[in-house]
Structure 1
Amino acid sequence: MLLGCCVGPRELRFVRDAGFDYAELNAKVTKPSMPDAEWRAIRDELLRNQVPLLAFNRLFPPDMSIVGPDVDMDEIARYLAVAFARMADLGGQHVGFGAGKNRRVPDGFPRDEARAQLARVVRMAGDLAAAHGMWVHFEFFNRAETNLINTVEDAVSFVQELAHDRVDLLVDFYHLVQNGEPVSELTKAGGRIGYVHVADEERKWPGSGSLPVREWFEVLREIGYQGPISIECNFEDPIPELRQAGEAIRRLSYSGGSGR
């Protein structure tokens, strides 16, 4: 099992010292609108930190709709083609597909059509992931952040319908808690979970609050999960808190196995 942490480029140099195996970055670091020559300078700067950049999140810019009447599939295809190529160039293996705001269904728009649009975009991402030796992990979001695919059961059904061999599930325990779903719901996901995000109360680092993080890891163990686990939290003081988070997640989790 690999342990990672969501950070920004400025925190990369502290990731290894904090005991993490890899860093997870916002996909915006790939700057798909930037010419290749300028991008290469940014790539080299990111890689200079010598931290494995195995995972990426927030795949889409917040103003790019992927469902609804204003969707431009050609624009999405162009954007994703560059983003995936550059994530792979950085050594990326895992891409979280959350996009809560992007997939919010506008009032009055047919939900079946929105779901079909979303499926088309996820398949597009899955095809690009396959071409670059990567995985797409589709994430269910709590109801306050989106109105399309909010529960474990919804997400399992969606991924089953897609039947794409490079698309599985991302479980973020924050959304599970916000929805009031019991952790036992994860048994419905079977072997479809490919990535995990974890945080404590108010998106603080695991172990800083009273949420049952150890119980969550026990359930992951019971269902046979051996993939990556990444902390996605808000740091007030990143340098010491990264170290505290690294120590806590290793204490609360388990060892052995490896990520895909």
Structure 2
Amino acid sequence: MIKLYSLLAACLLGLSVRAQSSLPAPEIGVVVDMERDSLVKALQFKYMLETTAKVLSPREVSDAEFQERLQQIRELEVPLYGCNIFIPSDLKVVGPNVDEEAVLEYVEVVLRRAQVAGLTLITWGSGGSRRVPEGFDRVTATAQFIYMAKRVAEVAARYDMLLVLENLNSSECNFITSIPEALAVVRAVDHPNFRLCVDIYHMLKDGQPASDIVGTGPYAAYCEIAERDGRTPPGVQGTDFTPYLAAMKAEGYTGKIMIEARWDDLATQGPAAYRTLRDQIDAVYQ
């Protein structure tokens, strides 16, 4: 539990430091195939995120293959911080076809393996799994999701793993598509192993203002970012992220910021992406 409590303490820093003009600047990581860790290190990124399917999923990764993944993770030059794409789209957590037992069996293996692999968190986007069927009551869907999140958070607690709920954009999902909506769910779940991912790309995609970040301080544990059009990495279109970064700072955020982008070529775009985001973060956090 020490790892989780340390992470949550850092996330709760905002409760006591809002008035400070200076906070430790967030480190930058990247969502990328972990086989590219040598390049990632050369580009100065500090952490990586991989997909659940590739590293942890019992559907895709046998026990023997997981042992191979573990060896690979132990030899990485850049730490693997966590995984994304948590729950497969056919395992519904809302709607008329929720199989609670199947969901819990799946996440049990994923989260147990995540602990063995030394990961810190899992991002919970999973738009297909949480999409509300047409005509289904949204109040009921919200209650279902909160209930399932509580159950899954209990599993996460057993394995000292943090789940972070990701706001998705409305072209990817029809449920939990804003920071205020995600924050309301996190508050309702009210579990220390279930916190908030502030995804700035999804905010930009739906034209949501930086002011939506207000109030996330005690709950925001992770942040992802990319440019709006085409989900390009920072530096391609010249996006100014500083209003959103300033809002994060105002909430006391000092956690990781991960670039989750569509790369044409990481080797050529990576230096500008890192430098662009590093400069904007430092300008805000100085």
**Partner amino acid for 2:42?**
D
Query: How big is each residue's C-alpha offset from its partner over 1:54-82, in whole Å with a ceiling of 9 and x where there is no partner?
Result: 12111012332221122211111111011
Task: Count how many residue pairs are aligned between Structure 1 and Structure 2.
Answer: 257
2:279 is aligned, of 246, 251, 255, to: 251
Distance, in Å, in 2 between the alignment partners of 1:132 and 1:246 is: 32
Stretches of structure 1 lacking an aligned partner (at least 5 in a row)? none
**Partner amino acid for 1:80?**
V
- Return 239-248 or 135-144, whichever deviates more: 239-248
2:120 is aligned, of 82, 93, 105, to: 93
Contact (CA 8 Å) 1:104, 1:147: kept in 2 or not? yes
**Partner amino acid for 1:85?**
R
Quick one: structure 1 residues 20 and 131, their matched pair in 2 at CA, closer, same or farther if it must change by over 3 Å? same
Contact (CA 8 Å) 2:94, 2:145: kept in 1 or not? yes
Equivalence for 1:117: 144
Is structure 2 residue 57 aligned with structure 1 residue 31? yes
| Bigger relative CO (Cα 8 Å, ≥ 6 apart) | 2
Query: How big is each residue's C-alpha offset from its partner over 1:33-73, in whole Å with a ceiling of 9 and x where there is no partner?
Result: 34323320222123322321112111012332221122211
Aligned pairs for 1:158-177 within 5 A: 158-177=185-204
Equivalence for 1:53: 80
Stretches of structure 2 lacking an aligned partner (at least 5 in a row)? 1-25
Query: Following TM superposition, by how much is the alpha carbon of 1:121 offset from its aligned partner in structure 2, in angstroms?
Result: 2.5
Equivalence for 1:14: 39
Aligned-partner SS, 2:65: helix
Distance, in Å, in 1 between the alignment partners of 2:247 and 2:138 is: 33
Query: Following TM superposition, by how much is the alpha carbon of 1:113 offset from its aligned partner in structure 2, in angstroms?
Result: 2.3
Equivalence for 2:219: 192
Query: Following TM superposition, by how much is the alpha carbon of 1:122 offset from its aligned partner in structure 2, in angstroms?
Result: 1.7
> What TM-score do the two structures reach when normalised by structure 1?
0.91
Query: How big is each residue's C-alpha offset from its partner over 1:155-212, in whole Å with a ceiling of 9 and x where there is no partner?
Result: 2211111111111111111111122211012113232211100111321111221322
Q: CA-atom RMSD, angstroms?
A: 2.0
Aligned-partner SS, 2:152: helix
Query: How big is each residue's C-alpha offset from its partner over 1:82-138, in whole Å with a ceiling of 9 and x where there is no partner?
Result: 111112222210211111121111112222222222112222332222222221111
Query: How big is each residue's C-alpha offset from its partner over 1:5-54, in whole Å with a ceiling of 9 and x where there is no partner?
Result: 00013323322111111101111121313432332022212332232111
Equivalence for 1:237: 265
**Partner amino acid for 2:235?**
G
Contact (CA 8 Å) 2:214, 2:251: kept in 1 or not? yes
Contact (CA 8 Å) 1:126, 1:164: kept in 2 or not? yes
Distance, in Å, in 2 between the alignment partners of 1:241 and 1:210 is: 13
2:133 is aligned, of 106, 120, 132, to: 106
Contact (CA 8 Å) 2:89, 2:129: kept in 1 or not? yes
Distance, in Å, in 1 between the alignment partners of 2:28 and 2:161 is: 18
Aligned-partner SS, 1:141: coil
Contact (CA 8 Å) 2:225, 2:257: kept in 1 or not? yes
Fraction of identical pairs, as percent: 27
Equivalence for 1:225: 253
Distance, in Å, in 1 between the alignment partners of 2:152 and 2:259 is: 23
1:142 is aligned, of 160, 169, 172, to: 169
- Return 225-234 or 210-219, whichever deviates more: 210-219
Distance, in Å, in 1 between the alignment partners of 2:53 and 2:103 is: 14
Aligned-partner SS, 1:88: helix
**Partner amino acid for 2:89?**
P
Distance, in Å, in 2 between the alignment partners of 1:254 and 1:131 is: 37
